[in-house]
């Protein structure tokens, strides 16, 4: 997926002064059907987003994923697996919605990432 303009700065801002969560390659971060109570910023490494065994997209640093379940309040649509050793920063739903309401540019970037991911998924089916 091509880089979204402004995403690197946003990811840096979102992860500044926040504790990273580390996963090893192959670790499951969340599974399809799980409750989505947070999104993630990829600080280092990459995360594979899968529907069953099918790779739908890869979220690589700087990037984000897990936003769709927060937006539509539905279970996770995909499984997220660490593709490499990865450092993530989690953004709880409450913080996500504060950012959406107070920072229109944040909402626009999230929508751009989501739209690109949905387009890519549509091209692979």
Structural domain contains residue 38: yes
Structural domain contains residue 37: yes
How many domains are contained in the chain?
Answer: 1
Structural domain contains residue 75: yes
pTM across the whole model? 0.85
CATH number of the domain enclosing 58: 2.60.120.10
Structural domain contains residue 102: yes
Residue-wise pLDDT for 17-51, tens only, equals: 788 999 999 999 999 999 999 999 999 999 999 99
| Structural domain harbouring 96 | 7-117
What mean pLDDT is reported for the chain?
A: 87
Contact 50, 79 (CB under 8 A): yes
3 phi, psi to nearest 5 deg:
-70, 135
CA torsion, ordered 118, 22, 88, 94, to nearest 10 deg: 100
Reference 29, options 85, 74, 70, 68; nearest CA is 85
Structural domain contains residue 2: no
Residue-wise pLDDT for 49-105, tens only, equals: 999 999 988 999 988 999 989 988 899 999 999 999 999 999 999 989 998 888 888
């Amino acid at each position: 997926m091509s880089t979204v303009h402004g995403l690197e700065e946003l990811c840096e801002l979102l992860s500044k002064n926040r504790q990273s969560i580390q996963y090893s390659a192959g670790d499951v971060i969340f599974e399809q059907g799980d409750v989505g109570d947070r999104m993630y910023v990829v600080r280092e490494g990459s995360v594979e987003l899968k529907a069953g065994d099918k790779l739908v997209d890869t979220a690589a640093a700087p990037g984000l994923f897990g936003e769709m379940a927060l937006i539509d309040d539905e279970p996770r649509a995909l499984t997220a697996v660490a593709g490499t050793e990865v450092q993530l920063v989690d953004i709880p739903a409450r913080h996500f919605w504060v950012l959406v309401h107070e920072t229109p540019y944040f909402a626009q970037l999230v929508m751009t990432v989501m739209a690109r991911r949905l387009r890519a998924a549509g091209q692979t089916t």
